[in-house]
Chains A and B, each alone.
Chain A
Amino acid sequence: GAVVSQHPSRVICKSGTSVKIECRSLDFQATTMFWYRQFPKQSLMLMATSNEGSKATYEQGVEKDKFLINHASLTLSTLTVTSAHPEDSSFYICSASRYLTGRTGELFFGEGSRLTVL
């Protein structure tokens, strides 16, 4: 099966610092990766969609200058939370799809990254 690895699984940082989260597809090439955010007892909220080699598409209300997404290769996407504040504390999850748009299928999710901003 397809494996998506996310790192780090937990990170604690001080307010004002930047944090980078990596998402890697280990055994397939991910043409599209998605970044989600999940608060306790809430559904996963899509933050942005990234295609390899192009700019990410952000969902309404998500600040692109605060949540920097880079999808430099077919196996790696990174999310950088810049100048993090306590309200950015959340569970961030990446997912990847094998195919280009036009096909249906499941998403493969990373293990998630718990960010705590003090």
Chain B
Amino acid sequence: SQKIEQNSEALNIQEGKTATLTCNYTNYSPAYLQWYRQDPGRGPVFLLLIRENEKEKRKERLKVTFDTTLKQSLFHITASQPADSATYLCALDPFSGAGSYQLTFGKGTKLSVIP
């Protein structure tokens, strides 16, 4: 069956350290993968999109990697701050890049950055 797994339900990290979140998927062949941030009681906010032919993508303190062989994406936040505390969701197009915009989401990892 198809699965998207974000390995940690919760992750606590000290301020200033690098947070690394993992997203694994099975029985999908996505053309791209996305990461979103969701604060409590709010809708998700788009952070980064990485395509299957891209190994790594960066945006300010954020870095995403995409390994289609391992079927895994890693999401890094460097120099983490308490304001980075939120739930982070990975999502992919379940129709293998058909451009349908239908996204399937993981359950998310709740990140807490401790001052």
- List chain A positions with a Cβ less than 8 A from chain B: 4, 6, 32, 34, 41-44, 46, 49, 91, 93, 95, 97, 99, 101-112, 114
26 A-B residue pairs with Cβ-Cβ distance under 8 Å, sorted by A, are A4-B43, A32-B101, A34-B101, A42-B107, A43-B89, A43-B106, A43-B108, A46-B103, A49-B101, A49-B102, A91-B41, A99-B101, A101-B99, A101-B100, A102-B99, A103-B99, A104-B31, A104-B32, A105-B101, A106-B34, A106-B49, A107-B46, A107-B103, A110-B43, A111-B42, A112-B42
Measured CA separation A97–B108 after assembly (Å): 22
Q: Across the interface, do B41 and A114 meet the contact criterion of CB distance under 8 Å?
A: yes
Give the A-B pair count, Cβ closer than 8 A.
64
The B67-110 residues at the A interface (CB cut-off 8 A) are: 89, 93, 97-108
Q: Across the interface, do B46 and A106 meet the contact criterion of CB distance under 8 Å?
A: yes
0/1 string, B54-77, CB within 8 A of A gives 1: 000000000000000000000000
